[in-house]
Structure 1
Amino acid sequence: MANPPLKLLIAASGTGGHLFPAIALADKLQEYEIQWLGVPNRLETQLVPSQYPLNTISVEGFQQGLSLSSLRILFKLISSIFQVRHILKAGNFQGLFTTGGYIAGPAVIAARSLGLPIIFHESNALPGKVTRFFGPWCSAVAIGFDAAARYLPNCKTVCVGTPVRPQFLDENCDHSLDLPIPDDVPVIVVFGGSQGAVAVNKLVRQCAPAWFDAGAYIVHLTGDRDPEADSLQHSQYISMPFYNNMAALLRRANLAISRSGAGSLTELAVCGTPAILIPYPFAAEDHQSFNSAVFTEVGAALSFPQSELTPEILQQRVLGLLQSPGELAKMGEKARAITYPDSADKLATLVREILANG
């Protein structure tokens, strides 16, 4: 009789930046039996494919200071550790993979208490507090940027990049773009990650008339939290909360204006899309600024602190880039040079090696 497949529990929750790399990995591990660990009412309930059974636990991130609320969260954390232990034992799992976030805490503690191999993936250039604390407990910490290794001195780190969805690796996917955009016009794509970015949206709408006059089309992904999302109407302006075919859109774009979450940056780099980056100023430990620095240091993007970026500055920098197609092309080439198109394969190989060694 053939040996039963190895079983892997994937703990990934909350945002596209945590979920998409984990889904890309799962798709590469078809020989494994995979289940998911998530949180009720978060994005994984929509994004995790149906072939991966979803287990949920009730856990939250800690807030600053000691309060009744933090005591309640602590109780949930302790309870969730025992829940994950039960899931791992009852399912006879051979290992755990996580992409971080607050779900990683109880997952790593539970797996470690059972002596199971743990693979952590950290996509940011500045690893999060959870990664820095739990990384030494893991068999390996796979990192998205080489720069992250300096913050994880007591961990076994392996730089594999950050996996992207398969469609981003199709160099001809722009042919599937189903938006009413002429072939011979410059296209600016604006997006703020899976949560949207209201402050960026406002800036862009103030700048847009000058960009329209320069012949550009704007595809503006506003997110679903912007009360002024429908305030601008123009024949060269396409606005929607989200767009599913991001790979095609980024390959068609001449320029992107974006936050600098690790997942978004990886998608920009794989597609070779030049970018103006506006790091989210309230990100934990300002980690988006560390991410954007990886791109600006090699000339793949321009980056501006939100507090210093005026409509006038953004308007002129975009116009300057649109008038310099050679500079845009160089930025795109430099972006491709710092990415790992085979990241999902590299990460899958690492997972196989660790689980095979028990």
Structure 2
Amino acid sequence: MSEDAKNVVLASGGTGGHIFPARALAEELNVRGYNVVLMTDGRGEKYDELFPNVTVIVVKSGSPSVRGIISKIKAVLAITVGIFQSRKAMRLIKPLAVVGFGGYPSMPPAAAAASMGIPLILHEQNAVLGRVNKLLSGFARQIATSFDHTESPDEEITAKMVYTGNPVRRAVLPLFGKKYISPTGDCPIRILVLGGSQGATILSEIVPVVLTSLPEDLQSRLHVSQQCRKEDLEQVASQYKGSLVTVSLSEFFSDVATLLDECHLAITRSGASTLSEITVAGKPSLLVPYKHAMDDHQRKNAENAVARGAARVILQDNFTKEEVERQLVFLLRHPDCLTVMAGAASSLGEIHAAEKLADLIDRFTSLKNNQEKNGKVAA
């Protein structure tokens, strides 16, 4: 990369919630003529296909939130090594800006940027500022948020926040604004069950039991696409066997955009990327927040959707056969309720998030360029 190139570094954790928005931003930046570098931890080696036209650099990192003093010390040492690796790489890359997407793998590049005076922009996917972004927030020039209200520690940090929304995959964007067709009469009812990037065992345990015990007039209309963990697939398939439900099971769906387009109701976790895609698609949802999510952010994400009338929520401890059946029977017997929820979901959808985030980068990179030019003239 030449010294005069428009280089931007994206620093991201390894889970889908961090990677998918980083990917969407990378696509937008490529269109605008930027050279994009993704800096992440060892899991980044699998991202070459997800990030075409992006250079992937792996740096060491670790999570100090692990149990045991020895493990914590190893994590801190790994982060320290990662910061030095990041500084070395950035001396060569000379990025105009660094964008951190949270997660501990994003800390070394983001901290390196702060120590080198490189403009640092943070993106927070959830309704509460995550631990890494909270630690880095004092060094950030701007904090882009996915929700119009995001919890933060103090007013100084809140003042840096600007709402952009959460960038979603380009394949989902064309679904925005499409009319929701409710499942009335005897037409099929299409349900999409997603458990985040790796599935969710509780959905595999409860949802099939509920759907296969529904009244036959509902059960016979169900067309279910359900994501499962690999170890749960056989059990889930056996539960549906012999029922009236038409079902498709997979460890991973490559055509989520198509499934979202067709579905009448999504039953999912409430991770930020999942919620962003559901709202862009304008679909009603039954949300089951992951109870062990950091800072309980999935519950707060879900509460935001529920407050707007876009979703219903069942906390994981309350996700019983009886409660799920009660809610599903009501929703499926009242398609007008699904239609209202779909409209509310669509009102939350943000299709310009990647553009708004790229606009922030344009602003800071232009400022940095002007400062450098003025400095050279003065010299």
TM-score > 0.5, shorter chain as reference: yes
Counterpart of 1:334 in structure 2: which amino acid? A
1:226 is aligned to 232
Map 1:200-211 onto structure 2 (within 5 A). Answer: 200-211=203-214
| Contact preservation (8 Å) 1:173, 1:248 | no
Q: Give the AA of the match of 2:150.
A: A
Q: C-alpha deviations, 1:184-204, integer Å up to 9, x for none? A: 411111111102100121011
CA contact (8 A) 1:38 1:44 kept: no
Query: For 1:312-327, what aligned pairs fall within 5 Å after superposition?
Result: 312-327=322-337
Report SS of the residue matched to 2:8.
strand
Q: Does 1:311 align with 2:321?
A: yes
Give the letter aligned to residue 258 of structure 2. Answer: A
Distance in 2 of aligned mates of 1:290 and 1:240: 28
- Cα deviation digits, residues 127-183 of structure 1 (max 9, x gap): 111111211211111000022155453231110110101111113999xxxxxxxx9
Alignment of 1:262-281 (within 5 A): 262-281=272-291
The percentage of aligned residue pairs carrying the same residue is 28
Contact persistence 2:124–2:146 (CA under 8 A):
yes
Is 1:96 aligned to residue 62 of structure 2? no
Amino acid at match of 2:5: P
Q: Distance in 2 between matches of 1:113 and 1:225?
A: 44
> In structure 2, how many angstroms separate the alpha carbons of the residues matched to 1:26 and 1:18?
13
For 1:179, the equivalent position in structure 2 comes to none
Residue of 69, 72, 83 corresponding to 1:70: 72
The root-mean-square deviation of aligned C-alpha atoms, in Å, is: 2.2
**Is the partner of 1:357 in helix, strand or coil?**
helix
**2:167 maps to which residue?**
163
Partners of 1:225 and 1:46 in 2: how far apart? 27
1:335 alignment counterpart: 345
State the AA in 1 paired with 2:230: D
Task: Provide the rounded CA distance (Å) in 2 between the counterparts of 1:212 and 1:318.
Answer: 11
The residue type equivalent to 1:124 in the other structure is: N
Contact preservation (8 Å) 2:306, 2:312: yes
The AA in structure 1 aligned to 2:237 is: D
- AA matched with 1:77: I
Pairing partner for 2:114 from 112, 115, 128: 112
Secondary structure, counterpart of 1:329 in structure 2? helix
- Structure 1 runs not aligned, ≥5 long: 175-182
Structure whose CA Rg is larger: 2
Aligned to 1:178: none
1:19 to partner: Cα distance: 0.8
Name the structure where helix makes up a greater proportion of residues. 2
Q: Mark the CA change 1:212 to 1:190 in structure 2 (over 3 Å): closer, same or farther.
A: farther
Name the amino acid aligned to 1:230.
Answer: A
SS in 1 for 2:213: helix
Aligned length: 349
Distance 1:336 1:238 in 2: 26
TM-score when normalising by structure 2: 0.87
**Structure 2 residue corresponding to 1:192, chosen from 170, 179, 195:** 195
Asked if 1:9 is matched to 2:9, the reply is yes
Deviation at 1:224, TM superposition (A): 3.0
AA of the residue aligned to 1:157: M
AA partner of residue 289 (structure 1):
R
Query: Is structure 2 residue 52 aligned with structure 1 residue 50?
Result: yes
Q: CA deviation at 1:254?
A: 0.6
Does the Cα contact within 8 Å between 1:126 and 1:151 map onto a contact in 2? no
Give the letter for the 2:366 counterpart.
A
Of residues 285, 296, 308 in structure 1, which corresponds to 2:306? 296
Contact 1:25–1:163 (Cα < 8 Å) also in 2: yes
Change in Cα spacing, 1:272 to 1:211, as seen in structure 2 (3 Å) is farther
Contact 2:3 2:94 (8 Å CA) reproduced: no
* Structure 2: unaligned runs, 5 residues or longer: 179-185, 369-379
Relative distance call for 1:225 and 1:63 in structure 2 (3 A) is: farther
TM-score (norm 1): 0.92
Distance 1:229 1:89, change over 3 A: farther
> Helix, strand or coil: the match of 1:187?
strand
Distance 2:148 2:110 in 1: 23
State whether residues 227 and 250 of structure 2, in contact with CA within 8 Å, keep that contact through their aligned partners in structure 1.
yes
Q: 1:343 to 1:90 in 2, by over 3 A?
A: same
